[in-house]
Chain A
Amino acid sequence: MSAKAVKKLQSVLGDAILETTNFRGDEEVRVALKDWVRIAEVLRDDPDLAMDHFTDLTAVDWPEREMEGQPRFDVLFAVRSLSKRHRIRVKVYVKDGEEVPTLCGVWAGANWAEREVFDMFGIRFAGHRDLRRILLYEEFEGYPLRKDYPIDRVQPLVEYRDVDDTLKLPPFGIEEGQPFARVDWEERLAGRDEQVSPSIGLQQGQRRALSDSEIAETQFTKKAEETAAE
């Protein structure tokens, strides 16, 4: 990481750099969404920066920030320069539903990384030619790395399988999978949760037991009702 690169970037782009941080030696700059591709092109083409080696592109979900009226996601990419040996991370705030312009035209490596971010967070990339789910399958419901996606959520069966009584044969049984988490995001986003340790929260009646799969059960009853109605 290099402070020189950030200085150079500031001199070239000026006001476009909204914020710079240097936590533990990791240089990070934040830009507005409209400058996203421009900064990438400057990073790649400026001879003093020469960031030709694409490293990573990912996102972080901050649902609590959205409640304060700020954009929900951080989308960030990291690049390095082969000749100069410096690195930089560029961050942008993205609202839920907002499209980020694709970086595939700048570094070809952004292709799969952007597909993964779309797959996991549901952030769409404008101009991406092949924005399909990559790790999960087309029928997958929801975006798993969002904080409001419960870890023990049961996915519905995919249509193709011709099984009569699907309720008896969930792909991952209700009590299977990972029944606990230290933070219950559903409760936390509803503003009911201050506890970190689930067992203490449970003892004091502050939260439901994290190991029970209420979501799975509601799905189960809903499906049962639907079948009954039919």
Chain B
Amino acid sequence: MEPADEILEEEDAALEIPADPMRLNMGPSHPAMHGTIRMVLDLDGETVMNVDVQPGYLHRGFEKSCERGTWSQVFPYVDRLNYVSPMLNNVGFALAVEKLLDVKVPDRGQYYRVILGELARICDHFTCNGASAMELGAFTPFLWLLKVRDWIWDILEKETGARMTHSFGRIGGMAAPPTEGFKDDVRAIMPEVRKVVGEAEALLLKNRIFLDRMEGVGKLSKERALALGVTGPVLRSTGVAYDVRKDHPYLVYDRFDFDVPVGTDGDNWDRFMVRTEEIRQSLRIIEQALEQMPDEGPVSIDDPRIMLPEKREVYSTIEATIAHFKLVMEGLKAPKGAVYSFTEGGNGELGFYIVSDGSGTPYRVRVRPPCWFNLQAAREMIMGDMIADIIPTFGSVNMIGGECDR
């Protein structure tokens, strides 16, 4: 073959490769499309010209299933929404029903919810950051971060009896009071967690490959993010300091001193850094909550119409037996009406719009999944970038299939 520079200019046209856009299916079973998402891409070379994001492969009919049981029977389902931070979903749903009932959990229970919830949030962010790094080839940080998740899961297992799907929240409190030594257990891992965050940063933040693939990739503007309903770390990375814990404090979040980290560009790098910083802020919250949490007192409200009585009493007194029977068979009678209650989940504003018709069965349970709206914005992040950029972008959006598809 003749060298390229000897080819005459007139012949250039004949050598060009036809540039029709190519249609490519990515997912639903693709290693990087965790959570089974299908993306139909229109490619020009390696540039993504258009993309159709198709969720729904994990749809299990959550909202319909909620309409057939009692209010309490929804808890196992919400666990399986965002299965990376189930405790936050548990608490979010419990708060929604409590808003409908207009009751407030005792102080100790609120602190307990905050601490367990923040531990779950740390897990969530660690998993997201670790997985993002792993998909870019950095396997070690992933393992180091998941090591921390295991420590946290050990604590959650000790408290709730399950490592992942706890079903530990109750309407009006928690299933059980904190175990003895709960505070010491959490305090013991705090410095270790902080150390690992630093270690993971040291591994990644000066890595050329990691920087190249994160910085300036998958950008989202502030205005578009707001219009698209984006919340959580993805919104904060665009420079909007909206955190439900700060803007509409629930539980006892108004008693803690913590910052809301924000980014500037809304790219992958900002999303990564916002999550990393939020882990530190969560640790700060946990430290203060441990300090303030009373050692004595109930974690649940004392109302037999809402909370199940203790098992010991159910077996020994008729009142408790009746209360137990009524709650299990008829379910909690929530007053007629509709409320929208929202908390800061792992990925943003986790809202529950619940409608009650006064019977013991939920009439409608609508979850506002943060992932759903974040994923909707993923289209705009991906378009115009290279096909390889989809992987870090999709990773940093942190789409959780269970929550997105319900």
**Cβ–Cβ < 8 Å partners of A116 in chain B:** 372
The tally of residues in A whose CB lies under 8 Å from a CB in B reads: 40
Of A28, A54, A58, A89, which one neighbours B227 at CB under 8 angstroms? A54
- On whether the beta carbons of A108 and B360 are closer than 8 Å, the reply is no
- On whether the beta carbons of B339 and A107 are closer than 8 Å, the reply is no
- On whether the beta carbons of B68 and A151 are closer than 8 Å, the reply is yes
Of A58, A109, A145, A182, which one neighbours B376 at CB under 8 angstroms? A109
Q: Which chain A residues (86-145) contact chain B, with CB distance < 8 Å?
A: 89, 107-109, 111-113, 116, 120, 133-137, 144-145
Q: Is A196 part of the binding interface, using a Cβ–Cβ cutoff of 8 Å? A: yes
- On whether the beta carbons of A55 and B68 are closer than 8 Å, the reply is no
Q: Is B299 part of the binding interface, using a Cβ–Cβ cutoff of 8 Å? A: no
Of B330, B337, B351, which one neighbours A196 at CB under 8 angstroms? B330
Q: Which chain B residues (20-66) contact chain A, with CB distance < 8 Å?
A: 54-56, 59, 61, 63-65
Residue of B nearest to A60 (CB): B364
- On whether the beta carbons of A24 and B99 are closer than 8 Å, the reply is yes
Residue of A nearest to B228 (CB): A109
**Cβ–Cβ < 8 Å partners of B242 in chain A:** 53, 82
- On whether the beta carbons of B338 and A56 are closer than 8 Å, the reply is no
Q: Which chain B residues (361-405) contact chain A, with CB distance < 8 Å?
A: 361, 363-364, 366, 368, 372-373, 376, 405
Q: With A108-B227, A109-B227, A196-B361 given, is the CB distance from A26 to B248 under 8 Å? A: no
Of B54, B338, B351, B353, which one neighbours A23 at CB under 8 angstroms? B338
**Cβ–Cβ < 8 Å partners of A196 in chain B:** 330, 359-361
Of B56, B330, B349, B351, which one neighbours A135 at CB under 8 angstroms? B56
- On whether the beta carbons of A182 and B70 are closer than 8 Å, the reply is yes
Q: Is B162 part of the binding interface, using a Cβ–Cβ cutoff of 8 Å? A: no
Q: Which chain A residues (164-221) contact chain B, with CB distance < 8 Å?
A: 178, 180-183, 196-197
Q: How large is the interface on B (under 10, 10 to 19, 20 to 34, 35 or more residues)?
A: 35 or more
Q: Is A3 part of the binding interface, using a Cβ–Cβ cutoff of 8 Å? A: no
Q: Is A78 part of the binding interface, using a Cβ–Cβ cutoff of 8 Å? A: yes
Secondary structure of the A contact surface, majority rule: loop
- On whether the beta carbons of B337 and A60 are closer than 8 Å, the reply is no
- On whether the beta carbons of A112 and B56 are closer than 8 Å, the reply is no
- On whether the beta carbons of A55 and B229 are closer than 8 Å, the reply is yes
- On whether the beta carbons of B366 and A58 are closer than 8 Å, the reply is yes
**Cβ–Cβ < 8 Å partners of B372 in chain A:** 112-113, 116
**Cβ–Cβ < 8 Å partners of B359 in chain A:** 183, 196
Q: Is A148 part of the binding interface, using a Cβ–Cβ cutoff of 8 Å? A: no
Which residue of B68, B339, B353 has the most chain A CB atoms within 10 A of its CB atom? B68
**Cβ–Cβ < 8 Å partners of A23 in chain B:** 337-339
Q: Is B240 part of the binding interface, using a Cβ–Cβ cutoff of 8 Å? A: yes
| Cα-based distance from A64 to B83 in the complex (angstroms) | 36
Q: Is B247 part of the binding interface, using a Cβ–Cβ cutoff of 8 Å? A: yes
- On whether the beta carbons of B68 and A180 are closer than 8 Å, the reply is yes
Q: With A56-B353, A108-B224, A109-B373 given, is the CB distance from A182 to B69 under 8 Å? A: yes
**Cβ–Cβ < 8 Å partners of A28 in chain B:** 338
**Cβ–Cβ < 8 Å partners of B230 in chain A:** 109
Distance from B240 Cβ to chain A, minimum over Cβ atoms (Å): 6
**The 4 residue pairs across chains A and B that have the minimum distance between CB atoms:** A109-B229, A181-B68, A135-B56, A54-B229
User: A-side interface residues toward B, CB under 8 Å?
Assistant: 23-24, 26, 28, 52-56, 58, 60-61, 78, 82, 85, 89, 107-109, 111-113, 116, 120, 133-137, 144-145, 149, 151, 178, 180-183, 196-197
Cross-chain pairs A/B with CB under 8 angstroms, 24 sampled: A23-B337, A26-B339, A53-B229, A54-B373, A55-B349, A55-B351, A55-B368, A60-B355, A78-B340, A78-B351, A85-B247, A85-B248, A89-B340, A108-B227, A109-B227, A113-B372, A134-B54, A135-B405, A178-B68, A180-B68, A182-B69, A183-B68, A183-B361, A196-B359
